[in-house]
Amino acid sequence: MLDVQKIREDFPILKREVNGKPLVYFDNAATSQTPQVVIDAIVDYYSNYNANIHRGVHTLSQEATDAYEIARKKVQQHFNAKHPYEIILTSGTTHSINIVATGFTNLLAKGDEIIVSALEHHSNIVPWQMLCERTGAILKVIPMNEEGELLMNAYDQLLSDKTKLVFTNHISNALGTINPIEEIIQKAHNVGAAVLIDGAQSCPHIKPDVQDLDVDFYVASAHKLCGPTGVGLLYGKEEWLNKLPPYQGGGEMIDQVTFEKTTYAGLPHKFEAGTPNICGGIAFGVALDYMNSIGFDNIAEYENELLDYGTKKLLEIEGLKIYGTSKNKTSVISFNIDNIHPYDIGSIVDKLGVAVRTGHHCAQPIMDFYKIPGTIRASFSFYNTKEEIDILVEAIKKAKMMLS
Amino acid sequence: MSIQELQEEIVDEFSMFDDWMQRYEYMIDLGKSLPLIEEKYKIDENIIKGCQSKVWVHAEMKDDKIEFTADSDAIITKGIIAILIRVFSGQHPKDIMDADTAFIDEIGLKEHLSPTRANGLVSMIKQLKMYAIAYQTQLN
C-alpha cells in the first residue's frame, strides 16, 4: 500500500500554486515530476564531480565515469537486459527510435514490409516513413477498434515472409490502451521479423523484462519515470546492435581513426558519439532506484484505483465521452464534452490550477479515426490523489458551464 | 473610430471585471458577435497556422479599407479573434500595419501573447498584418 501523503513530500513542485490555486498535475503522460532525490543527484553531480567521462585519468573523470556506468547497470537491471552494453543511453525515446530506423536502411530492400500499429505517437511513425522513403519498403498498419484496441486478427493477416520489422508502443499515449505486446512479438518472430517496442508510456506503470518478452529493441525516456529530460534508453539484443551501423559519427564511438579509415568502438559506445548527458544518465539511475523503492506493483495497484475513480467521476458529467475504453488500460483518461473544443476546456481548467493536456497528443491518426480535433487528456501518477480528481471534475463542470 | 480609440474602448470594457472568469465570459460573448466568415471561405488556405484550434480568416478590400471576417472551432479562440477583428476591421491597411497590440496585455490576456502559446494569438496578429501589407502593396 502506498502512503501518498508521504510520497507527495518527495516532490517539491507539488507544493506550488498555479493561478492562485494549488497545482493539480494531471499531465504525467507528457512528463512526470521530479522527486527531491533526483534533484539532489543533479546538484551533487554539478557541485562535486562534473567531468567528461571515459577518457580522463583524473579523479573527477574517474568518479563521473564510474557513476555513469553504474547508472547504465541500474538501467540494465531494471529492464533485465542480459548485458550492460545492450543498454545504449540516448537523449530519449525519439532518439532511440531514430537510431534503429536509420540503422535498418541497409537491411531492407524494396518491397519489404514493416508493420506499425494505428495507436502510435508520431515519433514512432515518422522515422519509419522516412525509412520507407529511403529503402522502398512498405508501411502496413494494424487497425484499431472503437475501444482503441488493436485488431489482432488483422495483424495476423498483415504478417508474411515479407515482414521485416514490427514496431508498436506498449501503451498508447493518447488513449492509455495496453497493447498485447507478448503476442505481437511472438507472432512477428514466427515470420522472422524483428520487433521494436516503444515503452515511453508503459515504463512509468509497468516494469518490463526485455529477456522475458524476447523483444529485439525496447525504447523509453527517463523523464516519464521521474528522471530528467534529455536522457533515455535503447535496449537492443546484442546480435541486433552489432548488425546496425553507428547512427552518428564523433568522439567516444571510435576504435581507431586515420584519414584513410576509422574503425568503430564496440557496444555500447558505438551508438554514443560525443559527450553524453552524463548528469542525466546518473540521475536516471537514481530515478529508477526511487521508483523501485516505491515498487511497481504498488504503483500499478494505486494508479488503477485512481483510474477507476476518475473514470466513474468523469462519466457523471453529462455529455462527457471517454476515448479509449479498453478493459486493459492504464491511468490515462482521454475525453471530450459534447461539442466543446478541448482547447477551451483546457484553457479554463488551467486557470483553476489543473494541468491537463489538450490537442491531438502527437497521434493525429487516432484523432482522425474518431473524427475529432483532439481530446482533453488527464493522466494520473502514483503521487496524485482522489481529492485532486475531485478538483478536476469540479473544474471541468465549471468550464462546461462557461462554455455551453 | 481609429484603431487606437477602439483599443481604448475594449480596455475600458475589460476594466469593469474583477477576475479572470468574468473576462473569459465576456470574451466568450464577444466571440458570439464575431462577423462570421462565409462558408465558401472556410477552406484550408484560410486557416491560420500555429493554433491548436482552427481559425479561418478572410479579408476583403472595400473603399481602401480592409473588412475581416473569421471563425474558429474553439469558443475562446473565437473571442480572441473577435477582439482583433473589432480593432482592425474597417481600417486602412497602413494603419493596421503600424498598429501596436499592447492593449492585449492591458485587458489581462497577456498570457495569450507568448509566441509559444498554442492558441496562436501572435499568429493571428501576424496574419492580419500580412493581409494589410498585401493590400497596401496593391494601393501603392
Residue A341: all three cell numbers together: 473544443
DSSP state for residue A15 in the 8-state scheme: G
Report pLDDT for B104. 83
- The per-residue pLDDT of chain A, averaged, comes to 95
**Strands (DSSP E) along A176-328, which ranges?**
194-198, 217-221, 232-236, 254-257, 262-264, 320-323
Nearest to A373 among B28, B73, B119 (CB): B73
Give tens-digit pLDDT for A18-71. Answer: 989 999 999 999 999 999 999 999 999 999 999 999 888 899 999 999 999 999
Q: Do B20 and A19 touch (CB under 8 A)?
A: yes
B121 band by pLDDT with thresholds 50, 70 and 90 = confident
Give tens-digit pLDDT for A166-206. Answer: 999 999 999 999 999 999 999 999 999 999 999 999 999 99
Spatial CA neighbour of B72 closest among B33, B117, B36: B36
Distance (Å) from the C-alpha of residue A367 to the closest C-alpha of chain B? 13
Nearest to B28 among A351, A359, A402 (CB): A402
CA angle B49, A31, A309 (to 5 degrees): 105
Q: What are the CA-CA distances from residue A356 to residues A310, A343, A353 (Å)?
A: 13, 10, 10
Report the percentage of chain A scoring pLDDT > 70. 100
A133 versus A260: the higher-pLDDT residue is A133
Q: What is the mean pLDDT of residues A322-327?
A: 96
| B28 neighbourhood in chain A, CB within 8 Å | 402-403
In whole angstroms, what is the distance from residue A166 CA to residue A169 CA?
Answer: 10
| A358 neighbourhood in chain B, CB within 8 Å | 52, 118
What pTM was computed for the model?
A: 0.91
Q: Do A343 and B28 touch (CB under 8 A)?
A: no
Report pLDDT for B117. 59
Interface residue ranges in chain B relative to chain A, Cβ cutoff 8 Å = 20-21, 24-25, 28, 52-54, 73-77, 118-119
Residue of B51, B85, B99, B121 marked catalytic:
B51
Residue A278: all three cell numbers together: 552524463
Q: Is A132 a catalytic residue?
A: no
| B20 neighbourhood in chain A, CB within 8 Å | 19, 351
Q: Do B75 and A341 touch (CB under 8 A)?
A: yes
